[in-house]
Structure 1
Amino acid sequence: MSSLHLDDFTDLIERPDGGVRRDAEARRERLVVPPGALGRLDHVGEWLAAAQGTVPVRPIQQPRVVLFAGDHGVASLGVSRRPAGSAEQLVRAVLEGGRPVSVLARRQGVPVRVVDMALDCPAESLPADVVRHRVRRGSGRIDVEDALTPEEAEAAFRAGMAVADEEADSGTDTVVLGDISVGGTTAAAVLIAALCGTDASVVTGRGGEPIDDLAWMRKCAAIRDALRRARPVLGDQLRLLATVGGADLAATTGFLLQCAVRKLPVILDGVVSAACALVAQRVAFRAPDWWLAGHGSGEPGQAKALDRMALEPLLEHGVTVGEGAGALLALPLVQSAAALAAELPEAPVEEETPEAAGEAAGDEGDRTVRPEAETKTETNTAPEAETSGGH
């Protein structure tokens, strides 16, 4: 019997502090730059203040890129440009600094953490800190079999929670969340289609490295078949992840929920993190209040998931490469919003000079006395005439 009760997250997760957000909004009204002039940066700064529970907002000083990695058995159907089981090569390239996320992270001075959950390679071929949470090697082909056993799904979910706790305890103040996988966008699309009640064709995209039309049709068929297997288990989110997800997706879901428990803001990357966020929302409806959508990748499944969670991407630049690169591009925007909210001075309160006060009083007198004088002139004439007549 599992000791993991997902319903507990509903009670454990609170919304970002509403009172602090109102204080942040009030402070924003007093800044030298008029409200609205900074666009969405205002809202991001206020959201971050509420997440931190302080006004003015603190600068983001210890961001971290966290990437969950895994191979997916469905990749053997030719749904990706990369061969099945080749995610290890991507992980090595990230660790060696040769992938887009590596370049961007190096440029921004942000550390990158890779967490192997189900890479299809010997564990000893990668650094120990990368593989220590691994649940299994690869995953089942979700169109015909479960991705994981129930025990593996729970282990992966708990591993994601543990990584969130490690990050929160180490002082990480913002997470840029991504994935490294081959076949992961196919599994993500199945989760989104199942949870949104849509057909396979609605959520089938071209993947991180765009595929041709034939591969797209194979991918659509695989999602359709996996979707038939997903629908009967929609009421059990952990079982759903075991059936059509994968260890990396289960870990990402656990990570997102535990980050919300620990009040750790997360910037989501592409369709995989969006799919896991959608599963996490089903577990705890307040959890999305702790996440930002970093960018729109153009994947239809991602757009569907973000719309369902009412999350609007900060950037729209068509980056499909995954690995957290698109979300990392949004990090400077979030940092800028925090800096502006914290460092812009409040507008000085204009004090009236005695001369200005006198002029204002004179103007007020002109507006009120003259009508009274005219009234008195009209009303005083008749009594004087009557008085004369009386004498």
Structure 2
Amino acid sequence: MLADELQHRIDFKTKPLGALGFLENLAHKIGMVQQTISPKLIKPYMVVFAADHGIATAGVSAYPQEVTYQMVMNFLGGGAAINVFCKQNAVNIKIVDAGVNFDFPEGLDLVDKKVRKSSRNILDEPAMTPKEYLKALENGKSVVKEIAEEGSNIIGFGEMGIGNTSASSLMMSQLFHISIADCVGRGTGLNDAQLQNKINILSKAIEKHSDLKTADEIAQTFGGLEIAQMIGAMEEAYQQNMLIMVDGFIATMAVSVVWKKNPEIFNNCIFCHVSDEYAHIKLLELLNQKALLNLNLRVGEGTGCALAYPIIQSAVNFLNEMSSFEDANVSNKE
């Protein structure tokens, strides 16, 4: 069996048994996804979905809504954290307008998948209509299909959208039946009074929308257009049998929606880092997943994926290039 063959290959490298720790688990996972004892990472990609949130106007973020489009322009100019780390680690990057409340000029290297300008204010109505939600899923899938056609077999997803930690907190509360207060963090840097105000606002949103049964209904009601497109993108990446690098709180929430529908997706997922966002640790615990890094990041954008990529590459490299005891004429333990 391939699983046994991979484990034997890992165990008989020139090292004490298990000495490469979590890298060994990672190498085994990648080999199983690619169904080979000699896996390869081909043309890594990072896709950053951007969209605005209607609830941002209610004061749930420390930053104004226009920061979303301003940061998209920063991505396109190569000046954001995700640009720096992708360039450093030779990861390709695409920026997707999923629903930014702004008319971008033509000629930009921006993938236009805008469903509408901003999600609706969930204090008044669901974030998306069922038709808009399905369109967002399809748009996310189409982005990944094109990347897969280029030969890429590993992809990560980031996001930009003022208000999207609020959307994710609401989704987490409803998907896992947890108090909203246990799912809310400081997002872009709220103080204590602002944090309590955020909890109060989100509590009202939950009171407004009850009797949501499926993961898709929860995402459509409370999510954002960038989160919905990420959900579709993750579904397509799994269908293409790509390795899926999962970033922080928002990305983990998106993959949780897919997992509720198809638990098998975790076979392809690599959780890249533990966000400094309060609820992310709890969410990873609920999903029984371990992340590669804990750097107290809370910038979003997919930065955790880009930083973790060299570690993922290291897992592949040791499996392919490290000598076995027999090859190196090194005595194994008795």
One-letter identity of the residue aligned with 1:104: F
One-letter identity of the residue aligned with 1:38: L
Question: 1:236-263 CA deviation, whole Å, 9 max, x = no partner?
Answer: x333222111211111111111111111
One-letter identity of the residue aligned with 2:197: R
TM-score by length of 1: 0.80
Q: Aligned pair in 2 of structure 1 residues 234, 302: CA closer, same or farther (>3 Å)?
A: farther
Give the alignment partner of residue 82 of structure 2, picking from 97, 101, 105. 101
1:232 aligns with 2:211: yes
Partner of 1:182, secondary structure, is coil
Show the 5 A alignment for 1:13-162: 19-58=1-40, 60-122=41-103, 124-125=104-105, 127=107, 130-162=110-142
Structure of larger gyration radius = 1
**For the Cα contact (< 8 Å) 1:86–1:120, is it kept in 2?**
no
Which residue of 2 is the match for residue 167 of structure 1? 147
Runs of 4+ in structure 1 off by over 6 angstroms are: none
Which residue of 1 is the match for residue 323 of structure 2? 345
Partner of 1:273, secondary structure, is helix
Q: Aligned pair in 2 of structure 1 residues 350, 255: CA closer, same or farther (>3 Å)?
A: closer
1:229 CA displacement? 4.2
**For the Cα contact (< 8 Å) 1:24–1:56, is it kept in 2?**
no
Give the alignment partner of residue 286 of structure 1, picking from 241, 253, 264. 264
**For the Cα contact (< 8 Å) 2:186–2:278, is it kept in 1?**
no
Give the alignment partner of residue 282 of structure 2, picking from 295, 304, 307. 304
Give the alignment partner of residue 199 of structure 2, picking from 198, 210, 220. 220
In structure 2, runs of 5+ residues without a counterpart are 330-334
Partner of 1:315, secondary structure, is coil
Q: For 1:287 and 1:169, how far apart are their aligned partners in 2? A: 20
Q: For 2:209 and 2:5, how far apart are their aligned partners in 1? A: 44
Q: For 2:69 and 2:52, how far apart are their aligned partners in 1? A: 8
How many residues are matched?
329
One-letter identity of the residue aligned with 2:190: I
1:198 CA displacement? 0.6
**For the Cα contact (< 8 Å) 1:176–1:268, is it kept in 2?**
yes
Q: For 2:326 and 2:293, how far apart are their aligned partners in 1? A: 34
Q: For 1:23 and 1:211, how far apart are their aligned partners in 2? A: 50
Q: Aligned pair in 2 of structure 1 residues 54, 218: CA closer, same or farther (>3 Å)?
A: same
1:131 CA displacement? 4.3
Q: Aligned pair in 2 of structure 1 residues 31, 149: CA closer, same or farther (>3 Å)?
A: same
Q: For 1:308 and 1:136, how far apart are their aligned partners in 2? A: 33
Q: For 1:343 and 1:62, how far apart are their aligned partners in 2? A: 20
Partner of 2:156, secondary structure, is strand
1:205 aligns with 2:205: no
Q: For 2:203 and 2:3, how far apart are their aligned partners in 1? A: 43
